[in-house]
Structure 1
Amino acid sequence: MNSVIREQILDDDGLNTIFCEIESTLNSRPITMNSDDPSDLEALTPNHLLLMKRKPNLPPGLFNKTDNYCRRKLRQIQYIANLFWSRWVREYLPMLQERQKWHKQRRNTKIGDIVIVVGSIAPRNSWPTGRVSEIILDRNGLVRQVKVKIGYNVLTRPVDKLCTLFELD
């Protein structure tokens, strides 16, 4: 937290707001699948348990043209929240992606697995989840790329840019 805020000067309201933003970020991470329905890709999050919905509906600030101070404070808080999000994704998601290069054979991604797409340009607190619809093997028979269905779109991604949320066995 100190490394994200750095030399930013925040009053009590600003600090409280940034803590609420960070709490929302931490509680929006997927834990497991919400249902057994294969067409339902929404993952269960701590926010589902705390708020009974996926993420809180935080209202945007209402500003007048003369309200420069409030807009500047909101931009500062949004900037800090974006810094936290980028650091969270950079440090948290690699912990979920087990990499034991050449030491131990790990499970290949299979058709039907539910995955989080890592490295996508998604807004803060958005975890794009999809279902693996097709696998692309290399010459050794290992999965190197997959086609992931996210909503109505199908994306081709390398397996190192995916984080398996739920394995279909």
Structure 2
Amino acid sequence: MTEGILNSKPLGYASSDLANPDPITPNLLLMDRRDALLPQAVYGSSDLLGTATPDLAVGTVVMVLDSQLPMAMWPVGRITWIVSSDDGRVRSAEVDIKGNLYTRPVTKLIELPKMPDDGDTIAP
């Protein structure tokens, strides 16, 4: 495992630009192939980091990040109020967790996927 980690490190400057080719690594020189640890997919511009994400909305179910608790114990609640900044982006939200209201920045909120209603059926 240690050998794989060391051999996957770039030998020189590695650009953060995704358009640049993979960096030269010992694995590339030894095995004449790309590193299996590096992502091999080509992503569209909408999937790249730094692109805009939709703002959270009232009624969205979120998990509240709490660095004092293990991830499995992070509380889950529903957004009851949002606070927007001058640029129109949501910066913080009021979350109802078991009847208690907490105001948290959106960087501490993780949107959870919607669950189907009881009447909905899930295709296999």
The structure with more helix, counted as a fraction of residues: 1
Question: Normalized against structure 2, the TM-score is what?
Answer: 0.48
